[in-house]
Amino acid sequence: MGRLRGIAWYTLLGGLSLVFIAPLVWMLTTSLKTAGEATRIPPSILPEDPTTGAYAELFGGNTQAPVLRWFLNSLLAASGQALLVLFVASTAAYALARMNFRGKNVIFAMIIGTLFIPIFTLIIPNFLIIDRLGWLDSLWALIVPGAASAFGVFFLRQFFQGLPQELEEAAVIEGANAWQIFTKVILPLSKPALATLAVISFLSNWNDFIWPVYVLFSPENYTLPPGLGQLQGAYSINYPVIMAGAALASIPVLILFVISQRYIIEGVSRSGLKG
């Protein structure tokens, strides 16, 4: 690349980057402004007198908006579901990738087939099932139903099939049973795939919106996404507080993304799947 072309190239890419990043930066800077400054016209680019007042307000124990509680609920739901997905998807994927048994193809086809059912088709019947189980308005509703992820099984099955056969055979000769092979041979070799699946599950649960909005009723049981809606009602004109709430919901996933972006992006592109 010539020097001039190089400059033009990076200007183009940099300009594009600005489009993607500026709104997120705006969210952060607004959260550090005062309510007055946030809505002034023309707007100030950087906070003139940066203040963490919005965050203090957010954590100040407003009973209509227990934000800390929402944050912990989100954390609990997203990590709980990620763990559950890891367990049920890895065991199922192991059976489907490495064992022969009657009905295997039918079961796998059924699991893949459900990838084509739009999520909203299941929302109303699932609401009724959750109600029967007594899980409405509780975190169980957020953790358990979504853990039946067809994506997780598909993704891990692909990975397990790529592992060398010899290690497993050696373990069999030494008299290991299936569970021992699974936990001592397969899982340790699959750490990158397991981590990718955990991160993708965590992100999608953390960001889920429609389901928590309709199955959680009490403010103290909210996760951040329905909580943010509540915040918009409670602080309709206080933009720094609303933006501080949005930032609070973004920062953990942005950090997670920065740490594991290679795995997230590769996981997404390799499987063509997210969910």
Q: Which of 82, 193, 197, 246 binds other proteins (CB under 8 A)?
A: 246
| Smallest distance from other proteins to CB 3, Å | 13
| Smallest distance from other proteins to CB 224, Å | 7
Interatomic CA distance for residues 38 and 236, integer angstroms: 13
Point out which span in 49-57, 60-68, 102-110, 190-198 binds other proteins (CB under 8 A): 102-110
Binding positions for other proteins, 209-228, rule CB under 8 A = 209-210, 214, 224-226, 228
Interatomic CA distance for residues 205 and 36, integer angstroms: 35
Check binding of 208 to other proteins (CB under 8 A): yes
Is residue 137 classed as helix, strand or coil in its secondary structure?
A: coil
Binding positions for other proteins, 12-41, rule CB under 8 A = 12-13, 16-17, 19-21, 23-24, 26-27, 30, 39, 41
Check binding of 203 to other proteins (CB under 8 A): yes
The full 3-state SS of 162-200, as one line of letters, equals CCCHHHHHHHHHCCCCHHHHHHHHHHHHCHHHHHHHHHH
| Smallest distance from other proteins to CB 242, Å | 6
Binding positions for other proteins, 166-195, rule CB under 8 A = 168-169, 172, 178, 181-182
Binding positions for other proteins, 62-101, rule CB under 8 A = 87-89, 91-92, 94-101
| Smallest distance from other proteins to CB 52, Å | 19
Give Cα 42 distance to the centre of its chain. 36
Residue whose token pair is 């890419």 = 13
User: Measuring CA to CA, which residue among 161, 208, 197 is closest to residue 273?
Assistant: 197
Interatomic CA distance for residues 45 and 61, integer angstroms: 30
Contact 122, 79 (CB under 8 A): no
| Smallest distance from other proteins to CB 35, Å | 11
Residue whose token pair is 């909580």 = 227
Check binding of 136 to other proteins (CB under 8 A): no
Q: Which is nearer to other proteins, 195 or 273 (CB)?
A: 273
